[in-house]
Every structure is written in C-alpha cells, then in structure tokens.
Amino acid sequence: MVRKTIALALMSGLAFILAFILGDWSPMERLSGVAYDYVTRGAADLGAMNLVTAIVVTYRGLDTLGEVTVLFLAASGVAVLLRRKRDEAAATVKIKRAASEIVTTGASLLSPFIVMFGAYIFLNGHLSPGGGFQGGAVIASAVLLLFLAHPDYKLRHNVLNIIESFSGFTYVLVGLLGLFLAGGFLDNRFLPLGTYGTILSAGAIPLIYTLIGLKVGTELAGILENMKGRA
Amino acid sequence: MKLVMVLGAALMLIGFWGLITRRNMIKMILSLAIAETGLQLIMIAVGYINGGTAPILDSAVDKLSAVQQVVDPVPQALVLTAIVIGVAVNALMLTFIIRLYQKKHSLNISDYKDMKW
Amino acid sequence: MVNPIFIPVAALGMAFLLPVLERFGRKTVNVLFFLTLGFFTAASLIWLNDFFMANSPVLRVFTAGFKPPLSINLQVGSQEAMLLAAINVLSLAGAFYLLPHLNVTGLKARVLFLLFTLGMNGLVMTRDIFNLFVFLEITSIASYALIGMDVRLKSLTAGFKYMIAGSLASIFLLFGIILLYQASGTLNIDGMIASGVTLNDSPLIQGAAFMLFLSLFIEMKQFPANGWALDVYQAAHPGISAMISAGSSGAIFFALYKIFPLAGENWYLAAAITGSTTFVISNLIALRQRQVTRLLGYSSVGQMGLLLAALGFGFYVNRGRDNYAFILAALFFNHFFAKAGLYWIAGIVKKERIEEWSALRRNPVLLFLTGLFILALLGAPPFAGFWGKWALIMNLGREDTFWGVALLLFGSLLEAAFLLRWFGLAMRGATHDDIQPSPAVREIFVTGLFALISLTLGARFGYMRLTADLWTYVFPLILAAILFLFEGFSVYLRVMASLVVMLFFGFYLYPLEQGLAFYFSLIFIGGGLLMLLATLYQPRRSAGYYPLLVLMFSSMAVLTASKTQLGFFMNWELMTFSSYLLIIRGKKSRKAAWLYALFSLGGALAMLAGFSVLQLIRPGAELLADLAYAGEYGGVIFTLISMAFLVKVAALGWHIWAPDAYAEAEDDLTAMLSAILSKAGIWGLLLLAVFMGAPLWHSLSLNTVLGWLGTLTAFFATLYAIFQEDAKRLLAWSSIGQVGYIVMGVAMMSHLGWLAALWHTLNHFLFKGLLFLAIAGVIHRTGTRNMYEMGGLIKRMPFTFFSVMIGIIALSGVPPLTGFGGKWLLYEALIEKGWYLQAGVAFFASTIAFLYCYRLIHAIFLGIPKPDQLQVREAPFRILFPQYILIAFIFVFSLKPAWLLKPLSAMVAPYFTPTLGWQGDTAVSSLGYWNGTVMMILVVFIFALVLLNLLWMSRGSKKVKPFNIVYAAEKPDRPQTTHYAWHFFTPYQRAMRPLLKPLIRHFWQGVGEWTATGGSVLRRIYNGNGQSYAMLILLLAIILFALTAGA
C-alpha cells in the first residue's frame, strides 16, 4: 500500500513534468536546420530516393555502424550469458512437444518467401521504405517460424558465423573504401551513383544495406537460437 | 500531431507505472518497452510537419519543391536506431532473466535482494 | 598523426572477425586482441605527445565526406588525448589483468571487452549528440554483458538492476536529444552550443536540458539514484569493476563535460548541489560498510559526486577562470588510477570483509600499493587529488561559496575515516587465517604501473601549481625517495644514510632561515638527528621506517621555511601522513593511529577552510604573509587555521588522540612525537600570531581564549597524568600538559610570554625526549609498560635512573635545572600581563605535577625489585648515548641560561619591546632576577649536604632483598594489587572524581556515533530491490526538476 502511494506520487510528479515540458509543444511548420539541407541536397549528393536511407547509411553512417555494433554486442552478450558451462552439460534433456501439422507445413511453405521478402526489403532500401535492419528482422522471423515448427531444428553455426563475420567485416572495409577513394569514412560515392531511381544506384548504399541485412538477419537468428535453448 | 504527442507521453507514463509497480521482471521489461515505444512516438511526432508526406523523393514528390512537401527525415533515422538499440537491450535483459530464473526459480524482483545497504 | 577513425575501424574489424578466427586457437585470438588494444594505446599516446609536446592543431574528422552538421564528426584535441590515453592504457592493463577471467569465458568475452573499449573511446571523441547516445549504449551494453559474464547470482542481479537504470537513463537521454533537435535543427554539439538554443527559457527547451542532464546524472551515479551502481561494484569481478569505476564512469563524465556548456545557470547550481550531496552521503554511508568491493563502490560513487560538484562549481563560481580544467583533470585522473588500482588489489586479495584484509600484512608490496592508492584517494600530497582539491577549495572561497567548502571538506573527512580504517585493518588487524594472497606477476605489474602513473601525474600537477620555491617544498619527498633505495640493508646503513640526507637538508635550509624559523628548524632537524641515532637500539626496523621518519622531520623543517600557503599546507599534510604511517607501526596502535589521522586531517581541512576564507577578502593571495590582511575575517580565519595546530599540540578538546597514540606508538617514536612533533603545532600558532596578531571574534579576544585553553590543558592533563598505571601514558598526559604551558606563553603575545614559550619549547624537547628515551630503554629490558610491574631498577639500570632523575627535575621546574627558568619566565609573564587567575591554575598544576614525577621515579626505580627483574641489564648504550647528549644540553643551559635567553630575546624583539634586561649573566625583569650559575652552585652545595646527611643516618641499616617479603599466609589472586604502586594515588582520585569525568571523550564518541547512525539510517534506502532503485531514479528526476525549474 505504501509502495503504491509512493508510486502514485512519483507518477503524478512525472506527469506534471511531462505536461510542463510538452504543454505548449506544437509541430514544426517547415523544415529547418540540417533537415532542410538533407532534403534539398540529399538526392543530388548521394543519389538515394529514400532520404531516410541517405541519412542512415551515409550522412549518419557512423551511427548505423554503431547500431550494428549494438546488435552484435547484444548477440554476443546473449551467447556468452547462455553458454553452457561444463557442469550444466549433463543436465537432463527436455523433450519438446512437436508442432502441429499446420505449423510445420506453413513454415516450410512460407519461409523461403519470407527470406526472399527480407532480401527485397534491404535491396530496395534506397528506393522505398525499408532497409537492412528491417530486411534482417524479416529474415530472422523466417528462422523463428522454423524454430516454432521444428523445435529440434539446429542452425548451422559455422555458416552463420562466417556470414555474420564476413558481412560485418566487409561493412567496415566498405567504409574504409569510402575514406580512401571518396570523401570520408562510409562515404557511399566511391561507387558510381548510377541512374537515379534504379536498383543499382546510390553508390555503395545497396551494398551496405545488403551487408547490414545479412548481418542483422544472422545475428537475430543467433539470438533466437540461443534463447530457444538446446534440445 | 498533438494527439500523437499526448499518446506518446501517456505511453511513457504507463510504462513507468508498470516498471515501478509490477513485481514480475518480465512485466517490468515489457513496461520499459512500452515506455520506449511512447518515446518513439514522441520522436516521430517531433519530426512531423503539417501536411507533409514521407521523405522519399520518388515520382510523387517533386525533387525541387520537396522541401515544402516532406516531413523531417532526421527523427525517422534516429527512431530506427533507437528501435534497434531497444531490441538489443531487451534481448539482453530477457537473457538475464532466463539466467536468474535458473538460479532461483522466481520471476519476482523482490526475491533478488541479496545485496543491499 | 593517426586518424581517429581508425579506432572504431580497428575495433569493429577485429570484433567482427574474431569469431571466424577462433579456429586458429586461443593464442592467435589473444595476440590479435592485445594487438588491437595496443594499437589504441599507441595511437592515443602519439596524440598525447603531439598535443603536449608538438602543440599540434586539434584533429577533426568528418565522416561520410560531408562537413557537420550534415555528418558526424570526431574530434581529438589535448583534452580528448589525455582521456583517451588514460582509457586505453586502462583497457590494455585491465585486459591483461583480466586475462584468465576472459580465457575462462571464451572468445566472446574478448569481443565484449574490445567493444566496451570502443564505446568509451567513442564517447570521448564524438561531437554529435546522437552519436554520443549510440556510443553510450555500446559502452553500457558491453558492460552489462561483462558484469553478467560469470553467471553468478550476484552479478546477474546487479547487472539486471544496472540494465533497468541504464534503460531509464537512455529513455531520458533520447527524449532530451529529440527535443533539442527540434529546437536547434542540428545534432552537432558545437552547433547546438553556438546556436545558444538552451539560453531560451521556454518550457520545451528547459525540458530538453532537464532530460539530457537528468540522464547523465543517473549515469554519473548520483544520490539517490545510485543503488544499482553499488550492487554492480560489489558483485562484478573486481577487474570489471575497475573498468567501470574508472573507465566508463570517466568517459561518461567527459561526455557530460562536453555538453555542459549547453547548461544554464540553474544547472550549474544543480550539479554542484547534487554532486556535493552525493559526495557527502556516500562517504557517510560507507562508514558502516564492511564489504570491501562495496566500500570501494561507495567511494567511487562519492568521487563521481566530487567530480560533478567540481564541474558545477567550475561553471557556477568560476566562469572565465582558466584553472577549473586543471581542477577537473587533477581530481579526475587521481580517482581514475587510484580506484582502478584498488579494485585490482581487491581482486588479488580476494577477501570480502575489511577485517580479513589483515592477510595483506605479510605482503609488503601489496600493502605498500594499497596504502599508496588510499593516500591518493584521500588527496594526500604529492598526488594529483591534493592539488585539485586545494585549487577547488580556494576558488570556492574566492567566490563566497562556503556551503560548498563545508560539504566537500566534511565529505573528505568521512572518506578518510573509512578508507583509513580499512587500511588500518590491513596493516594491524588480527589475522584470521593463513591464506595469503598470492598475486601473479601480471597482476602486480599492472597495479604497480598504475601506482607509478599516479605518482608521476601527481608530480606533473604539482609542478604546475608550485611556482615559487619548488625545490624547498618537495625536498622532503625527494629525501624519502632516496632513502627508499636503502631499504633492505642493515639498520646501521639505513640510519647512516638518513643522517647524511638530513644533514644535507639542514645545510640546504641554513641560509634560508633566521630568527624564530631558524630556532624551530634547529629543533626539528637537530632533534631529528639525535632521535635517529636513538632508533639504533632496536636491531630490526620494518620497511619504510627511515624514509618516513626523515619525511616527517624534513617536512616539519620545511614548515619553518614556507613562504606560500600551499607549500605550508602541503608539508603539513606530508608531516601528518608520515607520522600516521609511523604511529600505525605500533603493535596495538591501529585505533590510536586512526584517531590521530582523523583529528589531524580534520584540523588540516579546517586550515584549508581558513585559507579559503582568506581568498574571499584577498583574492589570489598565495603567501602566508597575506594572512596579515585578514581584516574583519581575522577571527574566523584564525579560529579555523588554529584548529590544525591545536590538534597537533593536543590542546584540551582536541587531545583525544594523544594519550593512545603516544602510548601505543613504538617507544622511540613516542619520544619523537612528544618532543618534536608537538612543536610543529607551536610553530604554527606562533606563525599565526606573527601574521595576524591577536584577532577578535566579535569583541572576544581570541588570545584570551587560547590562553585559557593552554591553562586548562595544563591543568587537566596533569591531573590525568597522576592516575596512570602505564609509564608511557603517564608521560603522554604530562607531555600534553607541558605543551599547554607553551600555548599559554604564545597566547600572551608579550616579550616575556614568548620568551617563556620558546624557552619551554626547547626545554620540553630536552626533558621529554630524555624521559621517553629512558622509559623506552626500561621497556626494552623489562618488556612491560606498567609501573606496578617494575621496581627497584635503580641498581640494575643506574644510568637510566640518572636520566629519569634529571628529566623529572627539569620537568618539575625546581631549581637548578632548565625547567625552573621556563616556569620563572612564565609566571613573570603571566603576572606582567595581568592573567592572575591563569597564573594560579598554572601554579597549582605544576605543583601536582610533582606527584606524577615522584611516582615515575619511585615506582620504577626505587623500592624493592621484582623477582623476575633481578637479572635485568642496563639499557643498551645506543639508547643511553642520545640521552646523555640531552642531559649535557640541559646542564649547559642550566648553568648559562644567557646563552639561550639572549638569542631568544633577540628573536622576539622584532615583534615585542623587550621587557627582560641583563646584568652580566643575570636576567632581570620588572619583578625579579635570575642567575643560573649562582643557583646551580647553591643547589649543588645543598644537595651535597643532604646526601651526606642521608648517608650518615643510614650507615647501620640492613639491606633488604625481595625474598624477605612474604605474603601473610595467603596468596592473592591478583598479585599486582598488592604492589604499593598499584593505584598509587587512589585517594586523590576519589577526591577529584567530578573533575576527572571524560566529558570530552564522551562528546567525541557521541559525534562519532551520531555520524555512523546517520549513515545507517540513510543506507536503508538501498534496500536491494531493483524496483525501488527505479523509483529512486524517478525521485531524482523530480528533485532535479524542482531544483532547476525555478529559474
């Protein structure tokens, strides 16, 4: 009871603070500051139709590299924390109930399409809504579906590891190419910008988003597998 | 857009309320996720411009007059990062809970008070 | 120049690649891991060199080929280079230290560690606020995983609480960032600052600043939102705690420093208040903490509070002054290296509770390192924290911010209390088990490296602060360092080396001093030399004994040569810490030494406060002579500064430490403490009087107060001395009382008064040195300090008996020895001054002093020998020799007082008109005259008559042996109670009971208990529940809002 009262008091304090801060908030009327620059020159600079992608992959590319790092860190952290210690190896193996027919059939039917859809999303990140993270998450959802359908399903670790490492390392290398061949680290313009609006345009953006998509997909899949526990 | 803002703030408050009243650790994490979602709504609301459209300069948006037509792309880019980071932290937190549960077979936060003072 | 972008490139490239490289084996992975960390370190050291040696321009790197604000930029300037060098050296050393732990966990642990380092580097380098958030998340997530890595219940729990706090903090941070973005249209920190956006006081922008700083305050572990941090520090592997406490906290602090220009006035004050509150409260709570890693956690949190306070104060009071960056850097790096070092030691020792740290006793290297880091944390000279704290307190004084001075100094004292208690237990606690810490070479190497860095940094910062007379002020430290080279050789060689360096120092000082300063440095150095000789009587001496002795004596001598306040304070602290480290060498002196250190530090901090008040009236004053301009603040300054001196002379009220410390210190050290160290306080009081005269507190003359303090000290200490059973304790009380007379003399502020004080200063040095050395010889032979366990030693130790006899004659002030001269001058002065009441009390006190003098010589040397002491031999020559030198001086000055009095008179003449005249060798005052030579002849003649008479009368008496005494048919169960010396003066004791109540001891005990109780009440908020910690974070939000929204 005391706890609830304190919680209530705290919440009313916070509500007051939020009301105070946001009380006279109103949306912006027109673009200003750095956003104005992005919108006016983004397409010409980088050749990407999707300005959000231009910002995410190039202008603020370091953030995105950091974001990939965060995900990678989390995946590594999950793996470290859920690693099996020697004394736990002998723990009894729980037998999991098999999934129903509908789920298994649906999973095998859908997962190739899901993966394909994911690849579509990250390949078109510079043209339409979407990108590497979204695509990667979609791919990982295919893996999740497989896990649901086949609780004993084992991912091939080596392959996953190599894809993950390769895509991450190549991402860094692509960034370096930007530094050496173009204006700076993660500059996408060391590849030709191509024809505006086509799939092979916007310099290295599709390449980077592909790498990110692969990396995110494999990392999320790794997290899922670790959390699933080993049968 | 004011509505989205208010909604975001309300979600944040709901999240905080859950965080300090739910004893179940998984519910606490869900509460944090709710608060984060609220914040993400606020971020999107900040980037909105009345009558604007998505900042994708395709055939629907004229490149030259784009400045008058699109919403601010920056908060959207930031939200993307924020979401990914949120996912990462949540995954790690759930992992901690899995391990904690294995140690003590309890999800109640008040059962983990071995260290204090 | 290395391009800063290569740091993230190298870190990420390696981190992404490592999982594939695993198949090439652990060795390959480790080599690559350390190569990467080594690259970071090398790069940042190159930057450090470029910026400090070559004055290179600031490095700015734009990513993506666009200029900010379009792109994210990194920046490395001189400040960043310093931070990066520290962080990367820590990471390299920390990884080396953690190697086995990382090996056990596997490959991924190295990935986590690498990215953790990257996160800290990024926090320091980035100039984009959202990128700052990303790097903060990288750092945090990596540290969550590193904490939980060992999958123990405790570390998992702590990690989980940390994650809740971290998530809340990042929600607030993002909130702030997005609002600031809307207001300023940029994410670039420099752009935001330049736009001046936060100067606007619309709720939206103030709210943005609120969210931003709230988040960083949480990350800085501010009270009360820091329960999680304490759990983390307690539970994590100490190697990880070191990384978090020093590294990531440091990087976060730098991030805050970077965006702090965005803050408005209200936030300066909020940071100062929050920080100093955190500093005080965490140190207060730590008083009750027994768990080492948690104790260090409280200390870490406290230090973060100190840093935040310094940052806030820096902007609040100090805008436009350039030395606040100096203060922050000094405090920051001091904490950085010392705390990492202490955590590493905690990991080596592996003892949870501070009581178990006595295991450290047999490992001198670890003990030395522990002591060194603790001294660094306490801000002892020459460590960086000392210079930082001094400059900070002076700044606060200049800007009239004394609440800050009070909070910070109080917090420092609390910090000293628990850190020194811990150190005391490590040094002198009872041993519980025989499991010794067995450090690996690797662990000692990194810890030693950090000790070295701490010292080097201290020297570097000190070099920037000590502008004048640098060599004089640091000479004691150099001497001590030289003597350290002789440790491990025989005692003879060590003493010889000590004598040589002290003599050398004496010759260095000689041309610098005259008058009073010369007189006192003669006592400090000359007395020191004599006492060093006396230490030879013990065949073995613990490591560090001689360097510390020489440090103590020479820093006292520097006190007499100091011209600047800083130089004086520095050497005052050196003297305090060296004497503390000496006292704690006594077998049972743990508590006594602790008390000594606390009182001394309390006094020293009061002195610091006094100097800071002076800054208010005379900004920028550096010289001691500036004290003369104190004006209306004279009373306050005099009172504060004199605290330090009153502690050292053990004046009534500040004397609690003295009897225990004197009694429990090693026997020859006690002689030095009483004979020499207490005179440092006298010198300080004289110095104050010279510069400040007799200031008033409102209408009350402080000299009258000081005079009464001296009188009452003399009276009560003498009273206590009578009832002691322990010879050293008796002499200790006597010493306190005698110094009380000197204080009276100083307080009189007259020619005669000062003559009396100066005369008695030397006299007390002579006879108290003599008595303590003589007693040291007796204890050496009999093995006891209790007088009732001795008796009849006159036959076995005649030379010592003679020493004691001369000593007590000189002490009691009867003719013909020097003591008489002192008393004569004192009473003359008192009467001349009109202090009749004081004269009466003093006279009464010196009369009852006969009682303990008599007891001392009677109980030990006269009467019947104890059966087990029949074979006792005379004290060793090596301790008798210095005694007879002292006796020679006593005789010379007794016979020819003019040889001393005339120069003394000349020394005092510049300050007061002489009222003592001379007719040949006869001193003449308005009230009488004194001729030492004539008096000596007279007394010797009378003495000879009495002696002859005695011999004549006792010619037929029978010699008695102890065996002739039998107990009357019954054997007492406590044989000592039948000794005549047991409770010798009990009747007097009964009569005086009301006066003997230890009221002052009770008072200080009460203070101690109340403080500890305060701590244990406050710490209840850390109830261990992660949810409560989340509530406390929200509470901090509301408090901060209330603090800042008013503006």
Q: Tell me the residues of chain A between 37 and 56 that have a Cβ less than 8 Å away from chain B.
A: 38-40, 42-43, 49-52, 54-56
Torsion angle, CA of C357/C359/C361/C366, rounded to 10 degrees?
A: -80
Q: What is the rounded CA–CA span in Å between residue C647 and residue C600? A: 6
Predicted confidence (pLDDT) per residue in C463-502, tens digit: 988 888 888 899 999 999 999 999 889 999 999 999 999 9
Q: How far is B58 from chain C (nearest CA, A)?
A: 22
Nearest-angstrom CA–CA distance, C663 and C726 = 8
State whether B70 and A7 contact (CB < 8 Å): no
Q: Which residue of C has its CA nearest to B15?
A: C168
The pLDDT value given to residue A152:
78
pLDDT (tens digit, 9 = 90+) per residue, C624-661?
999 999 888 989 999 999 999 999 999 999 999 999 99
Q: Which is more confident, C982 or C693?
A: C693
Q: What does the pLDDT read at residue A231?
A: 45
Does the model's ipTM exceed the 0.85 cut? yes
> C832-848 b/e with 16+ CB inside 10 Å = b?
bbebeebbebbeebbeb
- How many helices (H) and strands (E) in chain C? 41, 7
State yes or no: pLDDT of A84 exceeds 80.
Answer: no
Residue C157's closest chain B neighbor by CA? B112
Peptide bond just before C69 cis, omega within 30 deg: yes
Residues of B whose CB is below 8 A from A140: none
Residue whose token pair is 């800007």:
C399
Burial of A38-51, coded b for 16+ CB within 10 Å and e otherwise, reads bbeebbebbbbbbb
Residues of A whose CB is below 8 A from B16: 11, 14
Instruction: Write out chain B residues lying below 8 Å of A42, CB-based.
Output: 57, 73
Q: Which of residues 90 through 119 in chain A touch B, CB cutoff 8 A?
A: none
- Classify residue C968 as left (phi > 0), alpha (psi -120 to 50) or beta: beta
The pLDDT of residue C318 is 60
Shortest Cα distance, chain C CAs vs residue B60, angstroms: 25
Average pLDDT of the residues in B94-116 = 92
Q: Which long-range contacts (CB under 8 A, 24 or more apart) does C688-691 make?
A: C688/C627, C688/C638, C688/C641, C688/C642, C688/C645, C689/C746, C689/C749, C690/C516, C690/C911, C691/C624, C691/C625, C691/C627, C691/C628
**Taking all residues of chain A, what is their mean pLDDT, rounded to a whole number?**
87
Q: Given strand C917-919, what is the order of strands in its sheet? A: C917-919, C922-924, C929-930
pLDDT of residue C317: 73
| Residue of chain C nearest A181, judged by CA positions | C65
Domain ranges of chain C: 128-460+1027-1045, 487-687, 704-950+981-996
Q: Which residues contact A105 (CB under 8 A, 6 or more apart)?
A: none
Question: What is the helix (H) or strand (E) element at residue C917, kind and residue range?
Answer: strand C917-919
What is the C-alpha to C-alpha distance for residues C590 and C941, in angstroms, rounded to an integer? Answer: 50
Instruction: Say whether pLDDT at C931 is over 70.
Output: yes
pLDDT tens sequence across A11-49: 999 999 999 998 888 888 888 888 888 888 888 888 888
Distance from CA of A174 to the nearest CA of C (A): 11
Q: State whether C1024 and B88 contact (CB < 8 Å).
A: no
**Contact of A60 with A205, CB cutoff 8 Å:** no
Phi, psi at C698, each rounded to 5°: 50, -115
> Looking at residue A154, what is its pLDDT?
78
State the pLDDT at residue A64: 93
Residues with Cβ within 8 Å of residue C877, at least 6 apart in sequence: none
Q: Which residues of A touch B72 (CB under 8 A)?
A: 28, 31, 35
Dihedral angle, C-alpha C257, C262, C264, C270, nearest 10 ° = -40
Model pLDDT, residue B80: 93
Q: Has residue A99 got a pLDDT over 90?
A: no
Residue B62 has pLDDT above 80, yes or no: no
pLDDT tens digits along C433-468: 667 788 889 999 999 999 999 999 999 999 988 888
Question: For every residue of A140-159, which 3-state class applies, written as one string?
Answer: HHHHHHHHHHCCCCCCCHHH
What is the rounded distance in angstroms from the CA atom of residue C606 to the CA atom of residue C642? 8
Nearest-by-Cβ selection for A55 from B74, B84, B88:
B74
Nearest to A51 among B46, B55, B80 (CB): B55
Please report residues of A whose CB lies closer than 8 A to that of B98. Answer: 81-82, 227
Question: Under a CB-based contact definition with an 8 Å cutoff, are residues C635 and C668 in contact?
Answer: no
Region C248-267: mean pLDDT is 92
Domain boundary assignment for chain A: 49-82+97-228
In the predicted model, what is the mean pLDDT of residues C85-109?
Answer: 93
Distance CA C201, CA C346 (A): 48
pLDDT at B99 over 90: yes
Rg (CA), chain B: 20
Cβ atoms within 10 A of the Cβ of C757, count? 28
What is the per-residue pLDDT across C190-206, written as a single tens digit (0 to 9) for each?
Answer: 999 888 877 777 888 88
Angstrom distance (rounded) from CA C728 to CA C771: 9
Q: What is the mean pLDDT of residues C412-439?
A: 87
* Beta-bridge mates of residue C924: C917, C929
3-state secondary structure C94-132: HHHHHHHHHHHHCHHHHHHHHHHHHHHHHHHHECEHHHH
CA distance A35 to chain B (A): 6
Q: Looking at chain A, which residue has its C-alpha nearest residue B90?
A: A74
- pLDDT for A29 equals 81
Q: Which of the other chains make 3 or more beta carbon contacts under 8 angstroms with chain B? A: A, C
Residue C973, pLDDT score: 67
Least confident of A119-123, C37-41, C214-218: A119-123
CA atoms within 13 A on the CB side of C652: 24
> What's phi and psi for C697, nearest 5 deg?
-110, 110
- What size, in residues, is chain C? 1047
Residue C969: which pLDDT band, with cuts at 50, 70 and 90? low
Q: Which H or E run contains C922?
A: strand C922-924
Task: Please answer whether residues C561 and C521 qualify as being in contact, where contact means their C-beta atoms are separated by less than 8 angstroms.
Answer: yes
What local confidence, expressed as pLDDT, does residue A227 receive?
Answer: 85
Residue in B16, B78, B100 nearest the CB of C156: B100
Residue showing tokens 């999240």: B15
Q: What angle separates helix C678-692 from helix C545-561, to the nearest 10 degrees?
A: 20
pLDDT for position A85: 63
pLDDT above 90 covers a percentage of chain C that reads 67
* pLDDT above 70 (res C528): yes
Cβ contact C692:C630 at 8 Å: yes
Question: Tens of pLDDT along C882-921?
Answer: 999 999 999 999 888 888 988 999 999 888 888 888 887 7
Q: Which residues of C touch A165 (CB under 8 A)?
A: 16-20
Neighbours, chain A (3 or more CB pairs < 8 A)? B, C
C148 and B32 within 8 Å at the Cβ level: the answer is no
pLDDT surpasses 70 at C972: no
Q: Which residue has the tokens 């307080």?
A: C747
Q: What is the mean pLDDT of chain C?
A: 90
**Whole-angstrom distance, CA of residue C787 vs CA of residue C857:** 10
In B2-116 the beta strands, taken as DSSP E runs, fall at: none
Q: CB neighbours of A55 closer than 8 A, spacing ≥ 6?
A: A38, A42, B73, B74, B77
Q: Tell me the mean pLDDT in the region C225-240.
A: 94
Contact C605, C413 (CB under 8 A): yes
- Distance to chain C for B64, nearest Cα, Å: 19
Q: Which two tokens stand for residue C797?
A: 């130790």
In tens, the pLDDT along C5-19 reads: 999 999 999 999 988
With an 8 Å Cβ cutoff, are B113 and C1030 in contact?
no
Q: Tell whether B80 lies on the interface with C, counting CB pairs under 8 A.
A: no
What's the gap in Å between the CA of A99 and the closest CA on chain B? 23
- For residue C807, give the nearest of C798, C818, C796 by alpha carbon: C818
Q: What is the phi-psi region of residue C435: left when phi exceeds 0, alpha when psi lies from -120 to 50, beta otherwise?
A: beta
- Lowest-confidence pick of C485-499, C565-579, C960-974: C960-974
By the 8 A CB rule, do C1045 and C1038 touch? no
Single out the residue of C985, C1009, C1005 nearest to residue C996, CA to CA. Answer: C985
**Geometric angle at alpha carbon C169, from C168 and C172, rounded to 5°:** 90
Q: How far apart are CA C401 and CA A60, in angstroms?
A: 44
Q: What is the pLDDT of residues C580-613, one digit of tens each?
A: 999 999 989 999 999 999 999 999 999 999 999 9
Residue among A10, A70, A164 minimizing CB distance to C138: A70
Q: Please say if the pLDDT value at position A216 is more than 90.
A: yes
Task: State which H helix or E strand residue C701 sits in.
Answer: strand C700-701
A172 Cβ under 8 Å from any chain C Cβ: yes
Give chain B's domains with CATH numbers. Answer: 2-50+67-111 (1.10.287.3510)
